[in-house]
A = this chain, B = another copy of it.
């Protein structure tokens, strides 16, 4: 079992070389671990936090609730993600963070982050980079929501998860574990659960994916990526000085 800090380091190392000293500086961060059950709220919209959370295992989602009672997810977070790092600056969070599966989380105090950034400016820029990558993913979601069909949007989402999970070693045999309900998927795609079911089945019929028992297998990444107009550029996967 890889440690949360290891996963974070892998996520960072995909974008820039990490010095040994920086790495151990991360490992020395004081943290407060906490467990959440599926469906629980990890951070509540509108709350003021003096800490941010690093996801160690499980999946979490940024969630906005609407008056109608429906909700919209604006991101899916995977292990190694610094889920609400932006709250370090925003102070008040504009959305809730919800556990989509059982999750284990490490909370890091903002005073510690502040010290880290001052003492290690390069690590500071790397953390800033993480928040800008999150924003780039959000822009991709906007384009998908606005201009792709529901099926193409789902294809894009699956490709995004596949590439991100591969980075942290959670892809095996072209498949990844994703114990998320179709109802949650519908809140990511902004469509109804019934329609979600229909497009999942159409991707199955077209032999692009297998999806059963919380495991998604990509039968044909290229066709799926083409269908969903997925270009990994927005994930910023180039290792270079930042």
Contact = CB atoms under 8 A, between A and B. Distances in A.
A142 B143 contact: no
Contact of A146 (B67, B72, B138, B229): B72
Interface in A28-77: 46, 62, 64, 66-68, 70-72, 74-75
A131 B128 contact: yes
A135 B64 CA distance: 14
Nearest to A118: B121
Contacts of A146: 72, 145, 187, 189-190
A153 to B, nearest CB: 10
B145 A64 contact: no
A172 interface: no
A146 B67 CA distance: 13
Interface string A87-109: 00111101100000000000000
A140 interface: yes
A86 B139 CA distance: 13
Contacts of A71: 147
A89 B142 contact: no
A197 interface: no
A113 to B, nearest CB: 11
Contacts of A236: 90-92, 94
A233 interface: yes
Contact of A72 (B46, B95, B143, B238): B143
A148 interface: yes
A142 B140 contact: no
Contacts of A92: 233, 236, 238
Interface string A214-227: 00000000000000
Contacts of A74: 138-139, 142-143
A74 B138 CA distance: 9
A118 B117 CA distance: 11
A28 to B, nearest CB: 21
Contact of A229 (B66, B148, B233): B66
5 contacts: A64-B139, A67-B229, A71-B147, A92-B236, A138-B139
Given A86-B135, A91-B240, 6 more contacts: A66-B229, A89-B129, A89-B242, A90-B136, A131-B131, A138-B138
